[in-house]
Amino acid sequence: MLKKRWLYIGIVALLVVVFCYIQNNLLTITKLNVRSEKLPSAFDGYTIVHLSDLHSKDFGKALPEKIEKEKPDIIVFTGDLVDARRYEEEVSLTLMKRLVAIAPTYFVTGNHEWSSGQFAALEVKLRDAGVQVLRNEAMQLTRAAASIRLLGIDDPLGSYDEGNTVASAITSAAPENAFTLLLSHRPEWFSVYVNLGVDVVFSGHAHGGQVRIPFVGGLIAPNQGWLPAYTAGAHQNGATTMIVSRGLGNSVIPQRVFNRPEIVVVTLRR
């Protein structure tokens, strides 16, 4: 009887270990469509891979291989490429170099880039690798003579007022009514993005709520607290859609539960 009890305990322990490994390491792909009448016809079917919150986790070749199969037009990364608590930039830089070889890659800072105190040097390395680092600025994406705007803003630990910076970036890029994409690490600013008329926002930071409760959602997220509103998927308010990545790695809390690391694939539709 005692041997059976230990056998059962051993089986349960093994299952727990396997479950925890899968939750932290087995990549999942989430595919979303975003529709807008403002989208130029030339951009119908435009595919964007969205990544966030790697925290220097190493997925080897598995992550870029899965991304390459999606054949993205661009790749966007919305911050926390590195982790301030255990700063290891080589894994992160290796991934970004692989991404640049797949498609044009755009990056904005998260809070960990700033709190690490090493972003100035990291930014140089990212640019040298061919990553387009957006620092409170707007640019044009063109396709078949049509264009849309891509904005990227720093995380607030870079010391600025988010509302004024987003407004400045939007108004500095013409034409005024152009279809606009925004990269910003923080989803809790959704109302700011809506008020400024951004069409599609890409964010991260929430880590999917770390633990996802079935039929409820994320359990806790930085700057949103318990049962946060914005942890994953698409959120709509008026003409603005916000896409929140569940992220790839971990930071303070080392384990994900019902919340596997995520690659988000967004297709723009007219």
Q: How many CB atoms lie within 10 A of CB 117?
A: 10
CA atoms within 13 A on the CB side of 27: 18
Query: Could you report the per-residue pLDDT of 124-171, keeping only the tens digit for each?
Result: 999 999 999 999 989 999 999 999 999 999 998 876 555 556 656 555
Instruction: Scan for tokens 């964010």, then name that residue.
Output: 203
Give the pLDDT score at 176. Answer: 63
Residue 37 pLDDT level (bands cut at 50, 70, 90): very high
If one looks up domain 2-269 in CATH, what number appears? 3.60.21.10
Give the pLDDT score at 217. Answer: 95
**In angstroms, rounded to a whole number, what is the distance separating the alpha carbons of residues 37 and 63?**
33
Query: Could you report the per-residue pLDDT of 79-119, keeping only the tens digit for each?
Result: 999 999 999 999 999 999 999 999 999 999 999 999 999 99
pLDDT for 174 beyond 50: no
Give the pLDDT score at 85. Answer: 92
More confident residue, 163 or 213: 213
Contacts of residue 179, defined as CB under 8 A and 6 or more positions apart, other chains included, come to 36, 38, 39, 40, 43, 148, 149, 199
Q: Could you tell me the residue ranges of all domains in the chain?
A: 2-269
Beta bridge partners of 158: none
Contacts of residue 207, defined as CB under 8 A and 6 or more positions apart, other chains included, come to 53, 218, 221, 222, 231, 246, 247, 250, 251, 253, 256, 259
For residue 8, the SS3 value is helix
For residue 239, the SS3 value is coil
Give the pLDDT score at 4. Answer: 80
Quote the tokens at residue 217. 């959602």
H-run or E-run covering 101: helix 89-102
Query: Could you report the per-residue pLDDT of 251-263, keeping only the tens digit for each?
Result: 999 999 999 999 9
Residue length, the chain?
A: 270
Q: Using the 8-state DSSP alphabet, how is residue 224 labeled?
A: T
